[in-house]
Every structure is written in structure tokens, then in C-alpha cells.
Amino acid sequence: MPSSSDPTARQSWIAERRDAAVATFTAKIPAIYQAGIELEPEVAKWAAGRADCPSLFLTGPIGIGKTHSAWQATRQWVHAQFGSDYRGTPVVEIFRSTALFDALRPDAHENSGRALVRHLQKVDLLFIDDLAAARSSAWTQERLYEIFDERYINRRPVLITCDVLPAELAEVVGDRVRSRLAEMCRGGVVLLQGADRRRGAAA
Ligand SMILES: Nc1ncnc2c1ncn2[C@@H]1O[C@H](COP(=O)(O)OP(=O)(O)O)[C@@H](O)[C@H]1O
Ligand SMILES: [Mg+2]
């Protein structure tokens, strides 16, 4: 890292890191969510790191654009982490809820569930797509609690897409996670409205 006595060199060093991180992230975006879209103002504000709430809970009916918005918002969020308070390239983990719940199962792989919990407690941003889509067990809810409680007490952000509100999630995530999530996303719940975009595309 260049010395801080040369602000221009430091800035261009950070810009280089930023462009590399954004390019790496962009390569991970699934094909149908690659296109840049206009984000809802509140979502764009969160992505730019200007929202009061560090977490974002994107809700709304199926097909409204929650997942697409979340991928593009995360891309912008990564970009925004390279500002004046730059603290290294952020680590982002993205899971569909179904894949995450599978990976957390006790029989997934020996010890890998534990390692995953520890990892997801610490990553800079945890994005869980379609949280209400998965079916959980008491075991999964325990693991989720370990992840969310640690993130909650350290104010580490989550990005959730979900077709129901946090208050309606108890059945999926358990009551303790529902309560943590509601607290973490207070002021950060965004409802997307309008027509089903999938149907529009098929018409
Ligand atoms: N702002 C947008 N402009 C154009 N197409 C969009 C936009 N948001 C979403 N889409 C498209 O609409 C479809 C449904 O979006 P998706 O994010 O999967 O919905 P959801 O996650 O709410 O079910 C996808 O094909 C997606 O690419
Ligand atoms: Mg979706």
C-alpha cells in the first residue's frame, strides 16, 4: 500500500483495487441479473452506503425484481466500500436460502457446517436470496441463530430478499432469528411494487 503522505497515489491504488473487486463480483452475477437496472431510490441509497440502516430487506411479490435489484445493489455496495474509509476488499457471501439451509444441515459434510457458520458470522455482507422459499428444521434454525446473532451484535449487514415481511418469517427462521432480523432491518425494509416482470417478458 502506498504511503499516506501521497494522497493521489493512495487514491489511484484504492481505485485499482475497487475496479478489480467490482469486476470479480460482476463475473459472479447470474446471466439474467447481469443487466444494469434502475434501482429504487432507497435501494440505491443503501448500495451507496448512505442509508441509516446498514442492512437491507427487499420484499414484494414474486417476479417484481427483488433478486435482480439485490445483485445490482450488491455490485454497487462493493464499489462503495472503496471510499475514504476503505478498510480492505469486502468479503460478500451470496446464498439462495435453499442452498444455505442444505449446507447447514448436520449431515452436510463433517464439520463443514460449523466452518460455514463461523465464516458467515464474519463476512462483510451476507446476501440471502428468497429467504421464505426454504423449509428449515430446528437444527437449521439454531445455526441461523448463531449466524444472525453474531452479525447482529457486531452490526454486520445482511441483504435479504423475501416475498413476505420479516414479521411473517418465524415459521421459516424461528422466532429468535425473526426478532434479530426485524431489529437489524429496522428502517431498511423496502417494498417493491408493480407488475410481475416475468409475465411482462413472456407477453
Ligand atoms: N428493473 C428491471 N428492469 C427490467 N427487468 C427486470 C428488472 N427487475 C427485474 N427484472 C427482470 O424480471 C424478472 C424477475 O426478476 P427477479 O429479480 O427474479 O424477481 P423476484 O426476485 O422478485 O421474484 C427477471 O427476468 C429480471 O431480470
Ligand atoms: Mg427472486
Phi (first) and psi of residue 79, to 5 degrees:
-55, -45
Between the alpha carbon of residue 75 and those of residues 18, 32, 34, 156, the distances in Å are: 11, 15, 10, 17
Please state, rounded to an integer, the average pLDDT across all residues of the chain. Answer: 92
Ligand 1 binding pocket includes 156 (Cβ within 6 Å): no
- State the distance from the centre of ligand 2 to the C-alpha of 60, rounded, in angstroms: 10
Q: Does domain 7-202 have CATH number 3.40.50.300?
A: yes
- The 10s digit of each residue's pLDDT in 18-33 is 999 999 999 999 999 9
Ligand 1 binding pocket includes 195 (Cβ within 6 Å): no
Q: How far is CA 64 from the centre of its chain?
A: 18
pTM: predicted TM-score of the whole model, two decimal places: 0.93
- Closest ligand to the CA of 64: 1
pLDDT of residue 30: 98
Kindly list the domain boundaries of the chain, sorted by start residue.
7-202
Which residue from 68, 196, 199 has its CB within 8 A of the most atoms of ligand 1, so it is best to mutate? Answer: 68
- The 10s digit of each residue's pLDDT in 143-192 is 999 999 999 999 999 999 999 998 899 999 999 999 999 999 999 999 99
Nearest to residue 57, comparing CAs of 151, 199, 163, 133? 163
Portion of the chain with pLDDT greater than 90, in percent = 81
pLDDT band at 203 (very low <50, low <70, confident <90, very high): very low
Query: What average pLDDT does this structure show over 66-92?
Result: 95
- State the distance from the centre of ligand 1 to the C-alpha of 168, rounded, in angstroms: 23
Which residue from 97, 197, 198, 199 has its CB within 8 A of the most atoms of ligand 1, so it is best to mutate? Answer: 197
Give the number of other Cβ atoms within 10 Å of residue 70's Cβ: 25
Three-state SS at 93: strand
Q: Helices 138-153 & 112-122, crossing angle to 10 degrees? A: 30
77's CB contacts (< 8 A; 6+ apart) are 46, 47, 49, 92, 125, 159
pLDDT of residue 200: 63
- Pairwise CA distance, residues 52 & 49, whole Å: 9
Nearest to residue 186, comparing CAs of 150, 145, 157, 164? 157
